[in-house]
Chain A
């Protein structure tokens, strides 16, 4: 008897049938459209409506971009070329490009300086933002503020150099005495730094020609550069100050606690624009004429105070979200206050606070445009004031404001994308 059933079965398929293509209505574009765009009567109507609106927007704006004119020197010329056809007059962007970026008073042969500072900014913040970069790059980050100051404001390199040396000497003094008590060490560090700054002031004014770039006064800063300066400086200053305020608010020492509470509540209770008016208008009454504190510094102080109060509250939220056990665990390990905060509490609290902090940072960056109200010429101030008030460009709106929108969107969207990436990196699975 045979082992096979060759005789008992009429036909046995011994090869696989090739796969059939799915029916046309269940494959490819058609299927995707059916599932995603037209799954039911309501969605079908919504899809058609959306397509209609998209068509209207594109049909309306495309000729405007397409016929855009980039090379004329005034709005009147644009209109002459267009002869009534729809078209943007983007020439205002090309003609006033430098003014939009740097303001109208920054010396035009020195534009490379803010540009270099901007490129170096990317190098300086990279190690702070991306933990896998070599830690030695942080050295450059430490030097960067002084370098950037020298590049943007000009003058002799001695003044930022002396400030840097003062900071380093103060730090060294602090380290040396740290063992015998925090307060003494902090005082010693401060005194050392101040003495060196004071001496350095004489040195810098005596030898004002050493490696000097052409000095540019603060009043001449403007355009998007001003927004970047205010945004970067204020965010980086307000983060540490905000953390300190948040910790201070949780402190058991009543004086520190109350100072922090009063500061935070007062600053949060006042609109930013009021603070800016105070910086611009009221402070100049208190100083004798000629001893004006630089307007940019006044504004930086006010915006930083404002942002740090908000960041303090965000961080406090993070601190409050930590289970009490974490604090007790730190204590039971025998860590002192500074160690427990640095090693256990803050890393967790800050991780929780990231979305809130980024929110404040993005808001702060956009709020820097408010300085246009106190007659500083940031990007918005440039558009509102000099450019729209010039006889050539009086009447150009969409092009200019569109440009401002685009610029701010790029920066803010970048910040928010980074923060989402960071959150994924720090994910330690509490789910």
Chain B
């Protein structure tokens, strides 16, 4: 008797879990809020301001999805996650999507059963050293002490790089970027390594940024992107195409300023399809026709999000580099809206 009750309860729990996983879009609509996993704080990518509003590059993706699905970019419940808790939060259904500069790797995609829906930032791991060290290439770092964040791909890349080049190093494990800065500045480690965007942001916060150089070697590919759970392809599509809409909007010259005007109809059929004046793309996603227009209006196109949070006019001052449109020699390439 006891056993059958227990099994029954398990079945019910399993069924409800399965049902919930299968219709995230309906859940989000019913809830009226998008649960979006972000970092507990990374300069430029996600951090709450003095009034508690989340801001940043990854936050922009969450807000775009919320605007597309719910019509309100502020209808997002930001769930801060650490490098260690992010995947369980997503797998357990606590969050609907994770936009936490997470590197797309084979094992995360396949083994952890997640679906990366695209890439919103092409990053790569670099090294920063004090100028006084007199090093000009990462290959001269034999015997150096290296500050490195634990639980990230950078840790593994570093081991690979030093093994390939047959040089030795001494790792100094740290938890967050914020901890690395004082350690590095006080000389606890000779080298700080993390994604190049993080290095630039860190260096920008130094009192004398000129005393430190970022070495030319980029030792890994770090495609960062938002991800969702396996098994709910409709929801995956919504997130994927919300991101693509931002990228395509930049390519097509649609900005938050002119989106209203262009949404009246243009003679470019692709813009019309994107903004919903032609075709039924929104309906195919299970959304209404002007979903993409709302997302673009709320946060701006990809270029605007970039410039506002991490671009060259911000303290972080990242150049577009690989993250330029393919037409400008970068890697951003949205599949066509057709």
Q: Which residue of B lies closest to A102 (CB)?
A: B52
Contacts of B207 in A (CB 8 A): 79, 395
The answer to whether B13 touches A389 (Cβ under 8 A) is no
Q: Is the CB of B41 within 8 A of A386?
A: yes
Once bound together, how far apart are the Cα atoms of A386 and B52, in whole Å?
9
B88 touches A281 (CB 8 A): yes
Q: Closest approach, in angstroms, between the C-beta of A226 and any C-beta of chain B?
A: 13
> A residues within 8 A CB of B144?
none
With A79-B207, A104-B48, A289-B92 in contact, do A391 and B41 touch (Cβ < 8 Å)?
A: no
Give the nearest-CB partner of B178 in chain A. Answer: A388
* A395 pairs with B206, CB closer than 8 A: yes
B17 in complex: contacting residue of A219, A288, A292, A375, CB < 8 Å: A288
Q: Is the CB of A105 within 8 A of B88?
A: no
Give CA–CA (A387, B13) in the complex, Å: 39
In the assembled complex, A285 has its CB within 8 A of some CB on chain B: yes
Check: B93 CB closer than 8 A to any chain A CB.
Answer: yes
A280 neighbours in B (Cβ, 8 Å): 85
Q: Mark B199-223, 1 if CB is under 8 A from A, else 0.
A: 0011011110000000000000000
Please tell me which one of the listed residues B49, B52, B91 contacts residue A105 in the complex, with CB atoms under 8 A apart. Answer: B52
A88 CB, min distance to chain B CBs, angstroms = 13
Kindly state the separation between the CA atoms of A321 and B127 in the bound complex, as whole angstroms.
Answer: 60
Q: Does A377 contact B (CB under 8 A)?
A: yes
State whether A391 and B314 are in contact (beta carbons under 8 Å apart), knowing that A292-B94, A374-B82, A377-B80 are contacts in the complex: yes
Contact between B93 and A384 (Cβ–Cβ < 8 Å)?
A: no
| B-chain residues with CB within 8 Å of residue A373 when the two chains form the complex | 82, 84
Output the least CB separation between A380 and chain B (Å). Answer: 11
Bits for B152-187, please: 1 = Cβ < 8 Å to A, else 0.
000000000000000000000001111101100000
As a 0/1 sequence over residues 1 to 34 of chain B, the CB contacts with chain A under 8 angstroms (1 = contact) are 0000000000011001100110000000000000
Contact present for A389 and B47 (CB under 8 Å)? yes
Q: Tell me, in angstroms, the Cα distance from A386 to B21 when the chains sit together.
A: 30
- Quick one: which of B39, B52, B204 contacts A389, CB cutoff 8 A? B39
Q: How far is B227's CA from A366's CA once the two chains are assembled, in angstroms?
A: 36
Which one of A76, A96, A391 contacts B44 once the chains associate, using CB atoms below 8 Å? A391
Chain A, 310-346, contact with B by CB distance < 8 Å: what is the 0/1 string? 0000000000000000000000000000000000000
A interface size (C-beta, 8 A): 37
B50 contacts A95, CB within 8 Å?
A: yes
Sorting the interface of chain B by its residue count into under 10, 10 to 19, 20 to 34 or 35 or more gives: 35 or more
- The 8 Å CB contact of B41, one of A105, A290, A389, A397, is A389
CB closest residue in chain A, given B182: A397
B238 at the interface (CB under 8 A from A): no
| A288→B41 contact, CB < 8 A | no
Smallest CB–CB gap between B212 and chain A, Å? Answer: 13
Is the C-beta of A419 less than 8 angstroms from some C-beta in chain B?
A: no
In the assembly, what is the distance between CA of A387 and CA of B48, in Å? 8
Residue B81, interface by CB 8 Å: yes
Tell whether, in the assembled complex, residue A289 and residue B315 are in contact, meaning their CB atoms are under 8 Å apart.
Answer: no
- The chain B residue sitting closest to A107, CB to CB, is B52
A284 to B81, CA, bound (A): 14
Contacts of B77 in A (CB 8 A): 219
Check B47 against A288 for contact (C-beta < 8 Å).
Answer: no
Which A389-427 residues have C-beta < 8 A from chain B? 389-392, 394-395, 397
User: Contacts of A356 on B, CB cut-off 8 Å?
Assistant: none
A281 and B40 within 8 A (CB): no
Q: In the complex, which residues of chain B have a beta carbon less than 8 angstroms from the beta carbon of A95?
A: 50
Set of chain B residues within 8 Å of A397, measured between Cβ atoms: 181-182
Are B42 and A395 in contact (CB-based, < 8 A)? Answer: no
Contact in complex: A391, B85 (CB < 8 Å): no
Q: Which residues of A contact B324 (CB under 8 A)?
A: none
Q: Does B316 contact A (CB under 8 A)?
A: yes
Instruction: Among A377, A381, A384, find the residue whose CB has the most chain B CB atoms closer than 10 A.
Output: A384
- Give the shortest distance, in Å, between A73 (CB) and chain B (any CB): 8
CB neighbours (8 Å) of B315 from chain A are 76, 391, 394
B20 x A290 contact (CB < 8 A): yes
Known: A105-B52, A288-B12, A384-B179. 17 other contacts (CB 8 A): A75-B205, A99-B52, A105-B48, A219-B79, A280-B85, A284-B94, A288-B16, A289-B21, A374-B85, A375-B85, A384-B178, A385-B47, A386-B41, A390-B47, A394-B201, A394-B204, A394-B315
Top-5 shortest CB links A-B: A389-B41, A289-B93, A385-B40, A388-B178, A385-B41
24 A-B residue pairings within 8 Å (CB atoms): A75-B205, A99-B52, A281-B88, A284-B92, A285-B92, A287-B13, A288-B17, A288-B20, A375-B40, A375-B82, A375-B85, A384-B40, A385-B41, A387-B41, A388-B176, A389-B46, A389-B178, A390-B48, A390-B49, A394-B204, A395-B205, A395-B206, A395-B207, A397-B182
Name B's A-contacting residues (CB within 8 A): 12-13, 16-17, 20-21, 39-44, 46-52, 77, 79-82, 84-85, 88-89, 91-94, 175-179, 181-182, 201-202, 204-207, 314-316
